[in-house]
């Protein structure tokens, strides 16, 4: 009769994949041969992608893994989550738990204030031969199935804190200091470690990335520049705040520059092929100001003053994939951005975007009806862009003037309304024509009905699109 030791490896792996993590550990301990057979698969599943946090215990494990002969080679994706000990008075089960919580909380603050987190990150990154992606997150992935539907994939060390104190670590909501600092020290650690992973991913569900995170003062540039030069993929989800620097010069006209530091940052990433960002939903004029800058043609070096409140437009000559999400702007602004990159662009995603012709947020004015369908105009203009040769187009959950925009098969009154359209080659030839025929605005039955004006994604927290990225998460 076949036994675990004689069945083919594929079967052994298939059987093992039904085990919970502790049971899998037990199986690996039962015998050397099983351990040896499962080793490749196990190290791949458990050590390809790891999530750590800024505590000594977590970063210590990161360093240990990075020094392990084999695991260090498997580790290609490192996430630092924004876990923090809550500052609020917490209820703890006993004095032992209380002492651990109070000490842990203070340890973390001191780890950050002394910069030891940066040193530890640097040490770990130095040893990783195959690092591809570094990222930041403020949530746990719930898609992991091995340990049951409710088990989540948390940062290394977070479960221990929970076990020892009975309390769970939260995620920092401090967008002004904690999160920008994490972004900056992460890039600095990677740079100091002489690494240049091609992908950086910031996935925030509970907040946005403050523009100050992108500030690269002269003293950071020597270490960070090489990282950014080699960067191919920059994913910024949820919103990036592109708040304005607004000044009056010589007492006269106001100069506004939305996303000042992000503009400078993009000037350091010439090799980007894939860019995704979302902007804060209702900052209409700032988003438009930033996007108008992004769509400007690059000018040759030296024709602009070096210290300008308007950073030089960027080329991004290799950009093939652009994903824009969440924000509200005018039709021409989006068209100008696409037009600028049209010679290289192959993939375009327009997700949860909202259009209106006016500068004012749709929620503060009451548009007159009937109006024209702005998305049809956008699709028609995209179809007319000679240079634009897309392989993939995804549009979904669009809006116009605060009203939902849907897709409905043409010529069929009873066709269902759909919210998403996703086209890839070879269907691409007719796709824009199809979109023009099928895009419908859900006009209100009577003007300014509150229900129709309601914006269901308002706080931007229930973004679901970035879940695509989590499908392959493994502990
Ligand atoms: C904490 O971990 C210990 C040892 O690993 C275990 O025996 C105990 O049940 C855990 N406690 C909780 C509350 O999870
Ligand atoms: C970004 O952070 C700075 C402080 O570093 C703060 O003054 C500013 O208000 C923050 N921006 C937003 C949009 O909260
Ligand atoms: C990145 O761009 C620079 C020029 O801006 C170029 O010299 C370098 O070779 C590029 N690196 C990669 C990896 O493409
Ligand atoms: C500042 O404004 C005043 C009055 O408009 C003008 O005379 C002066 O030349 C300006 N100075 C500079 C440096 O532009």
Quote the CA–CA distance of 132 and 135 in Å, as a whole number. Answer: 10
Task: Kindly report the protein residue whose alpha carbon is nearest to atom 11 of ligand 3.
Answer: 230
Quote the CA–CA distance of 371 and 283 in Å, as a whole number. Answer: 23
DSSP string, 105-162: HHHHHHHHHTTHHHHHHHHHHHT-TT--EEEEESS-B----TT-TT--B--TTHHHHH
pLDDT for res 470: 37
- Distance in Å, CA 278 to ligand 2 centroid: 17
- Distance in Å, CA 213 to ligand 2 centroid: 10
Quote the CA–CA distance of 92 and 167 in Å, as a whole number. Answer: 7
- Distance in Å, CA 370 to ligand 2 centroid: 40
Residue 212, ligand 2, Cβ within 6 A? yes
> What is the per-residue pLDDT across 155-208, written as a single tens digit (0 to 9) for each?
999 989 998 988 899 999 899 999 999 999 999 999 999 999 999 999 999 888
pLDDT band at 150, cuts 50/70/90?
Answer: low
pLDDT band at 368, cuts 50/70/90?
Answer: low
Question: What residues contact residue 422 under an 8 Å CB cut-off, 6+ apart?
Answer: 392, 393, 394, 396
| Residue among 177, 183, 208, 210 to mutate when testing ligand 2 (max atoms within 8 A of CB) | 210
> What is the per-residue pLDDT across 286-319, written as a single tens digit (0 to 9) for each?
889 999 999 999 877 666 555 567 888 999 999 9
pLDDT for res 359: 61
Residue 176, ligand 2, Cβ within 6 A? yes
- Distance in Å, CA 225 to ligand 3 centroid: 12
Residue 198, ligand 3, Cβ within 6 A? no
| Residue carrying the six token digits 């996703």 | 422
- Flag whether pLDDT at 474 surpasses 80: no
Name the more confident of 133 and 413.
133
- Distance in Å, CA 264 to ligand 4 centroid: 28
Nearest ligand to the CA atom of 197: 3
- Distance in Å, CA 252 to ligand 4 centroid: 9
Quote the CA–CA distance of 71 and 128 in Å, as a whole number. Answer: 9
Give the CA angle between residues 370, 373, 375 to the nearest 5°: 160
pLDDT band at 472, cuts 50/70/90?
Answer: very low
- Distance in Å, CA 79 to ligand 1 centroid: 26
pLDDT band at 464, cuts 50/70/90?
Answer: very low
| Residue among 271, 274, 298 to mutate when testing ligand 3 (max atoms within 8 A of CB) | 271
pLDDT for res 140: 87
Backbone angles phi, psi at 42, to 5 degrees: -60, -45
pLDDT for res 325: 93
- Flag whether pLDDT at 452 surpasses 60: no
How many C-beta atoms lie closer than 10 Å to residue 464's C-beta?
10
Residue 448, ligand 2, Cβ within 6 A? no
Ligand 2 atom nearest 211 alpha carbon: 1
Residue 270, ligand 3, Cβ within 6 A? yes
pLDDT band at 113, cuts 50/70/90?
Answer: very high
- Flag whether pLDDT at 2 surpasses 80: no
């Amino acid at each position: 009769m076949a036994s675990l030791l004689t069945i083919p490896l594929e079967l052994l792996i298939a059987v093992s994949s039904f085990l919970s993590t502790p049971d899998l550990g037990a199986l690996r301990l039962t015998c050397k041969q099983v351990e040896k057979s499962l080793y490749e698969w196990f190290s791949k599943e458990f050590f390809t992608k790891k999530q750590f946090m800024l505590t000594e215990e977590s970063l210590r494990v990161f360093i240990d893994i990075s020094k392990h002969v084999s695991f260090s080679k498997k580790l290609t994706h490192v996430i630092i989550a924004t876990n923090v000990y809550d500052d609020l008075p917490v209820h703890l089960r006993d004095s032992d738990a209380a002492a651990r919580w109070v000490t842990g909380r203070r340890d973390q603050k001191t780890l950050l204030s002394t910069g030891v987190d940066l040193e530890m990150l640097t040490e770990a990154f130095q040893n990783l031969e195959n690092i591809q992606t570094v990222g930041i997150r403020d949530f746990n992935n719930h898609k992991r199935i091995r340990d049951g539907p409710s088990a989540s994939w948390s940062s290394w060390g977070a479960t221990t804190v929970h076990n020892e104190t009975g309390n769970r670590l939260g995620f920092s909501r401090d967008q002004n200091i904690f999160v920008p600092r994490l972004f900056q020290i992460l890039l600095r650690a990677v740079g100091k470690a002489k690494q240049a992973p091609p992908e950086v991913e910031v996935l925030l569900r509970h907040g946005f990335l403050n523009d100050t995170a992108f500030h690269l003062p002269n003293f950071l540039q020597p270490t960070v520049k090489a990282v950014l030069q080699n960067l191919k993929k920059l994913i910024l989800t949820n919103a990036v705040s592109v708040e304005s620097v607004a000044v009056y010069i010589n007492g006269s006209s106001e100069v506004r520059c939305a996303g000042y530091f992000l503009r400078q940052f993009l000037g350091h990433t010439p090799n980007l092929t894939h860019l995704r960002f979302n902007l804060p939903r209702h900052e209409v004029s700032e988003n438009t100001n930033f996007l108008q800058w992004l769509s400007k043609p690059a000018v040759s070096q030296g024709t602009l003053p070096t210290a300008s409140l308007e950073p030089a437009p960027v080329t991004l000559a290799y950009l093939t994939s652009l994903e824009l999400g969440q924000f509200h702007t005018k039709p021409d602004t989006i068209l100008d951005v696409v037009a600028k990159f049209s010679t290289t662009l192959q993939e375009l995603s327009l997700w949860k975007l909202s259009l209106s012709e006016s500068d004012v947020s749709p929620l503060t004015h009451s548009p007159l009806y009937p109006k024209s369908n702005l998305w049809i105009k956008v699709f028609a203009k995209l179809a007319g862009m000679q240079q634009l040769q897309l392989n993939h187009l995804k549009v979904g959950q669009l809006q116009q003037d605060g009203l939902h925009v849907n897709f409905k098969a043409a010529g069929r009154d009873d066709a269902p309304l759909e919210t998403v359209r996703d086209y890839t080659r070879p269907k691409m030839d007719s796709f824009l024509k199809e979109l023009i025929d099928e895009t419908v605005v859900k006009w209100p039955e009577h003007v300014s009905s509150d229900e129709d004006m309601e914006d269901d994604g308002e706080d931007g927290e229930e973004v679901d699109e970035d879940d695509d990225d989590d499908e392959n998460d493994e502990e």
